[in-house]
């Protein structure tokens, strides 16, 4: 199987040292009436089987667009991918034919969407919507497909699944609808699950139920998971490693323990210091000053420089590369040493 | 104006039921949604009372009744000794000056066709005595400056501001009439983390500066802990636990508070496998048909027979220093890893 043939399907299982999924120098831009929006500017991250990567960052930093590029669900145009690779078991998905891609999308790489609560179709029963996965992708008959749907509803712990399979979405609570969305995402045993803000709309008690369910499913099947969120608490709870995005770039990536112990980028550091904690009664909260960048008019040099307490003259002109701090850690800051040591600017 | 520490708001046995009707031609009431069902608390000047609880437990309804935007089914809301729930006409208008609100959604709560100056100054139209016509622009600019916005932007429209800046506009408007009480219903939930901190710090600064009392409603328990002096935990229309922030967060006594707190993720991966998590099963019951006795009993792991027959009142229980509504209240720290 050659890597370059657009019809070849990605290999099963791992290929030597190649990660399960690798995003490499990805660029995504949108042609809009106001101008060219560079939403993703050279993002790289990777994921191994059984691993959880958390992607963190402010609203508009490009987290969802990166995920949409991995899934191959961007509308092109207006979107364009001028550069970059998305390798799945070594095969660049961006160069596959649409037909080959369909074999991957939803089956081997699945996604739970940010607005999942409105993603269910109100006029079909949940059982019909889940069983559709098996009818369309596995060619199952109606009877067998519904049986599988009940099994899945059990697996995501919907009480009385057998009785509820013919209920409509509005008859379920928000947390249960989110679990039905998860059921549909894992129906075909994907190798990678992308969860885009899977719990933001939910109460903490329900959020805890859903996160525990995802962790259990992951243990059972050794799925790789990309968890997109801006909740630093959820990240600390479940992630193995973290990629922090700002203005369409990765500004820091590291293991979860390293980043919470000592962040190496001023934005990450500011984020960690600006959240109140339930286990501590803090004093004044640190607030990152200023506003997130405007993608149509990005600051020169380092995109974070207008808000950065560590800024030096060269930050305004020289865009920092992603410096390697260790084999598993990078920071896009000229002064990462000072940040890591905790010296203020 | 009340001095610091004096009680300015007294809420007693507050009930708000929404009728459940059936039939289109001839409406027949077949029941009621018991959104708020017997809530009592005090608020002192300069103090912040946090209100937490799951979606639908009645937080926003409570806020609306406090503001006299909804009439209560029964009970009283006394501001400086006078019941706003019974006030009418000129008296209601005068009392409303003293209690203002900041709402959740900075994107939809401001009229897009009004300038910032008109939005912030609108309360002066109703209460002309606060700012005479010629004085309005100066007053509005002062308010913008207080909340950290550029006073020169008085003629801009809401869409020209970011979410955090819009929330500041809402706060400036809330301050216009110099109220003693501000009810904040999820004031930062729609904002990015880095912007949330700016708005929380602003609210704290204004509280010190103007001796404001806050009712702070949020579902983010970490934010509530940060800003509150006391916290009320609500479940299905009732307050199930009420105490100082350290009492609620470090020594919760009601099983529901314990479950709620144990579910909050702590932004520190060290010890994450040792933390205790109480995963609640099932969903909250419908407020139209709450369980008998203790409303939490259908999800409570400690429930006994008495819980179905006798309603536990909100009171100080043996072994605890603050009020909780559980027959078997027992303090238990679920937030810290020991
Ligand atoms: N179809 C589109 N056309 C034009 N711009 C777009 C389009 N989709 C996304 N964008 C822009 O790309 C940028 C990144 O968006 P993205 O949805 O990835 O942000 P995000 O990091 O997921 O934010 P959030 O936390 O709010 O979900 C944003 O500025 C957004 O406005
Ligand atoms: N005008 C109304 N008519 C009928 N029922 C209502 C009305 N307003 C609220 N309710 C119901 O009262 C209950 C409490 O609602 P409320 O909005 O106070 O909850 P909340 O605690 O603010 O929830 P959230 O955290 O989701 O904002 C809910 O069951 C709601 O459906
Ligand atoms: S490169 Fe300069 S401006 Fe950018 S984060 Fe580092 S110190 Fe701050
Ligand atoms: S009164 Fe009974 S059911 Fe209610 S919280 Fe206490 S133990 Fe649980
Ligand atoms: Mg997104
Ligand atoms: Mg509400």
A161-178 tens-digit pLDDT = 888 888 888 877 777 788
Could you tell me the distance, in angstroms and rounded to a whole number, from the CA of residue B328 to the centre of ligand 3? Answer: 55
> For residue A282, what pLDDT band results from cuts at 50, 70 and 90?
low
The count of C-alpha atoms lying within 13 angstroms of the C-alpha of B3, restricted to the half-sphere facing its C-beta, is 0
Q: Which residues of B48-78 are buried (b: 16+ CB within 10 A; e: fewer)?
A: bbbbbbbbbbbbbbbbbbbbbebebbebbbb
Beta strands in chain B (DSSP E): 7-22, 28-44, 48-52, 74-79, 82-83, 99-102, 181-185, 213-217, 230-235, 238-244, 315-316, 323-324
pLDDT (mean) for A80-106: 89
Angstrom distances, CA of residue A89 to CA of A33, A83, A93, A162 = 38, 19, 10, 37
A227-261 tens-digit pLDDT = 998 888 888 888 999 999 999 999 999 999 999 98
In this predicted model, which residue has the larger pLDDT, B139 or A158? B139
Among partner residues B195, B197, B219, which is closest to A204 by beta-carbon distance?
Answer: B219
Cα separation of A213 and B179, whole Å? Answer: 46
CB B139 within 8 A of CB B177: no
Could you tell me the distance, in angstroms and rounded to a whole number, from the CA of residue B325 to the centre of ligand 2? Answer: 22
Q: Any residues with Cβ below 6 Å from ligand 4, and which?
A: B 254-255, 294, 296-297, 300, 302-303, 307, 312, 326-328
B149-201 tens-digit pLDDT = 888 888 988 887 777 788 888 888 888 888 999 999 988 777 777 778 888 88
Which A residues, 231 through 250, put their C-beta within 8 Å of a C-beta on chain B? Answer: 231-237, 239
B219-232 tens-digit pLDDT = 888 889 999 999 99
- Residues of chain B with Cβ-Cβ distance to A275 below 8 Å are 193, 196-197, 222, 267
The protein residue whose alpha carbon is closest to atom 11 in ligand 2 is B35
Q: What is the pLDDT of residue B304?
A: 95
Cα separation of A276 and A285, whole Å? Answer: 7
Nearest bound ligand to the CA of residue B233: 2
Q: Which atom of ligand 2 is nearest to the CA of B57?
A: 21
Query: Mutual orientation of helices B163-175 and B116-126 as an angle, nearest 10°?
Result: 20
Measured in angstroms, the CA of A314 and the nearest CA of chain B are apart by 25
Cα separation of A214 and A193, whole Å? Answer: 10
Q: What is the pLDDT of residue B23?
A: 64
Chain A: residue nearest B257 by CA? Answer: A205
- A278 contacts chain B (CB < 8 A): yes
DSSP A24-56: EEEEEEEEETTEEEEEEEEEEEEE-TT-EEEEE
Chain A / chain B CB contacts < 8 angstroms: 129
- B139 contacts chain A (CB < 8 A): no
Chain A: residue nearest B161 by CA? Answer: A291
A122-140 tens-digit pLDDT = 888 998 999 988 898 888 8
Q: What is the pLDDT of residue A345?
A: 46
pLDDT at A296 over 80: yes
Q: What is the pLDDT of residue A5?
A: 52
Q: Which atom of ligand 3 is nearest to the CA of A345?
A: 7
* SS3 state at B259: helix
- Residues of chain A with Cβ-Cβ distance to B218 below 8 Å are none
Could you tell me the distance, in angstroms and rounded to a whole number, from the CA of residue B20 to the centre of ligand 2? Answer: 13
B17-65 tens-digit pLDDT = 998 776 666 667 778 889 999 999 999 999 999 999 988 889 989 999 9
Cβ-defined contact of B266 to A279 (cutoff 8 Å) = yes
Q: What is the pLDDT of residue A9?
A: 60
Q: What is the pLDDT of residue B109?
A: 75
Could you tell me the distance, in angstroms and rounded to a whole number, from the CA of residue B317 to the centre of ligand 1? Answer: 51
**Mean pLDDT over the full length of chain A:** 86
B54-102 tens-digit pLDDT = 888 899 899 999 999 999 999 999 999 999 988 988 889 889 889 988 8
pLDDT (mean) for B5-23: 88
Cβ-defined contact of B222 to A257 (cutoff 8 Å) = no
Among partner residues A239, A270, A275, which is closest to B222 by beta-carbon distance?
Answer: A275
DSSP A147-213: HHHHHHHHHTT-TTHHHHTT--GGGS-HHHHHHHHHHHHHTT--SEEEEESTTTTS-HHHHHHHHHH
Find all residues with CB under 8 Å of A243, minimum gap 6, and list them. Answer: A45, A53, A54, A55, A56, A250, A252, A253
CB B221 within 8 A of CB B53: no
The protein residue whose alpha carbon is closest to atom 22 in ligand 2 is B60
Domains of chain B from N-terminus onward: 1-19+33-98+181-192+213-265+277-338 (3.40.50.300), 107-178 (no CATH)
- The CA-based angle A183-A189-A193, given to 5 degrees, is 75
pLDDT at A18 over 50: yes
pLDDT (mean) for A217-223: 88
In this predicted model, which residue has the larger pLDDT, B309 or A197? B309
A68 touches ligand 1 (CB under 6 Å)? no
In this predicted model, which residue has the larger pLDDT, B307 or A8? B307
Q: Any residues with Cβ below 6 Å from ligand 3, and which?
A: A 266, 302, 304-305, 308, 310-311, 315, 320, 333-335
Find all residues with CB under 8 Å of A235, minimum gap 6, and list them. Answer: A54, A56, A227, A229, A242, A256, B267
Strands B7-22 and B230-235: unpaired
Could you tell me the distance, in angstroms and rounded to a whole number, from the CA of residue A245 to the centre of ligand 1? Answer: 12
Q: Which atom of ligand 3 is nearest to the CA of A267?
A: 5
Structure tokens at A155: 């697996």
pLDDT (mean) for A16-34: 88
The reported pTM is 0.85
Could you tell me the distance, in angstroms and rounded to a whole number, from the CA of residue B293 to the centre of ligand 6? Answer: 25
Bond before B332 cis per omega within 30 degrees: no
Sheet with A21-32: list strands edge to edge.
A35-47, A21-32, A79-88, A91-92
Q: What is the pLDDT of residue B326?
A: 97
The protein residue whose alpha carbon is closest to atom 30 in ligand 1 is A60
């Amino acid at each position: 199987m050659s890597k370059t043939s657009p019809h070849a399907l990605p290999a099963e299982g791992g290929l030597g040292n190649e990660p399960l999924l690798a995003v490499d120098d990805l660029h995504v831009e949108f042609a809009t009436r106001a101008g060219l929006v560079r939403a993703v500017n050279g993002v790289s991250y990777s994921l191994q089987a059984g691993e959880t990567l958390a992607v963190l960052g402010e609203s508009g930093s490009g987290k969802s667009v990166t995920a949409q590029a991995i899934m191959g669900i961007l509308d092109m145009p207006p979107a364009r991918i001028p550069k970059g690779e998305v390798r799945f078991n070594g095969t660049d998905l961006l160069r596959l034919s649409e037909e080959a891609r369909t074999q991957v999308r939803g089956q081997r790489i699945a996604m739970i969407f940010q607005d999942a609560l409105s993603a269910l179709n109100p006029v079909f029963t949940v059982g019909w919507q889940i069983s559709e996965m098996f009818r369309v992708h596995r060619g199952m008959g109606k009877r067998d497909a519904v049986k599988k749907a009940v099994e899945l509803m059990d697996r995501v712990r919907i009480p009385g699944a057998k009785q509820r399979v013919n209920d409509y979405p509005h008859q379920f609570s928000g947390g249960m609808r989110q679990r039905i969305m998860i059921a549909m995402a894992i129906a075909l045993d994907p190798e990678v699950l992308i969860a885009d803000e899977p719990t933001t709309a939910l109460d903490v008690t329900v959020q805890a139920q859903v996160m525990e369910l995802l962790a259990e499913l992951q243990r059972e099947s050794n799925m790789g998971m990309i968890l997109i969120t801006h909740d630093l608490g959820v990240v600390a709870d479940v992630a193995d490693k973290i990629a922090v995005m700002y203005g369409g770039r990765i500004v820091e990536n590291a293991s979860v323990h390293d980043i919470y112990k000592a962040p190496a980028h001023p934005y990450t550091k500011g984020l960690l210091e600006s959240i109140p904690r339930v286990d501590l009664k803090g004093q004044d909260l640190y607030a990152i000053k200023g506003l997130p960048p405007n993608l149509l008019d990005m600051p020169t040099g380092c995109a974070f420089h207008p808000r950065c307490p560590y800024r030096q003259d060269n930050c305004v002109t020289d865009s920092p590369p992603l410096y390697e701090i260790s084999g598993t850690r990078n920071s896009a800051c000229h002064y990462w040493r000072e940040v890591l040591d905790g010296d203020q600017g | 104006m009340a001095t610091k520490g004096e009680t300015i708001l007294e809420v007693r046995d507050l009930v708000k039921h929404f009728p459940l009707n059936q039939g289109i031609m001839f409406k027949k009431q077949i029941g009621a949604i018991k959104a708020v069902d017997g809530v009592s608390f005090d608020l002192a000047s300069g103090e912040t009372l946090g209100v937490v609880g799951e979606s639908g437990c009645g937080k926003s309804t409570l806020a609306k009744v406090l503001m006299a935007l909804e009439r209560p089914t029964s009970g009283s809301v006394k501001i400086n000794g006078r019941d706003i729930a019974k006030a009418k006409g000129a008296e209601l208008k005068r009392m409303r000056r003293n209690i203002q609100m900041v709402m959740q959604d900075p994107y939809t709560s401001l009229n897009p066709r009004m300038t910032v100056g008109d939005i912030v100054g609108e309360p002066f139209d109703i209460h002309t005595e606060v700012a005479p016509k010629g004085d309005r622009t100066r007053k509005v600019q002062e308010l913008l400056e207080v909340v950290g916005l550029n006073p020169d932007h008085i003629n801009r429209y809401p869409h020209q501001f970011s979410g955090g800046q819009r929330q500041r506009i809402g706060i400036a408007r809330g301050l216009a009439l110099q109220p003693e009480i501000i009810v904040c219903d999820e004031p930062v939930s729609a904002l990015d983390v880095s912007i949330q901190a700016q708005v929380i710090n602003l609210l704290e600064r204004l509280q010190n500066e103007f001796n404001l009392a806050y009712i702070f409603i949020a579902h983010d328990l970490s934010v509530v802990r940060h800003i509150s002096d006391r916290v009320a935990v609500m479940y299905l229309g009732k307050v199930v636990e009420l105490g100082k922030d350290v009492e609620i967060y470090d020594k919760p006594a009601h099983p529901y508070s314990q479950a709620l707190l144990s579910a909050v993720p702590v932004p520190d991966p060290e010890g994450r496998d040792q933390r205790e998590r109480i995963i609640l099963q099932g969903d909250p019951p419908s407020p139209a048909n709450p369980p008998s006795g203790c409303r939490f009993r259908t999800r409570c792991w400690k429930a006994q027979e008495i819980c179905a027959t006798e309603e536990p009142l909100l009171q100080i229980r043996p072994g605890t220093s603050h009020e909780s509504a559980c027959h078997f209240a027992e303090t238990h720290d679920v937030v810290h890893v020991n």
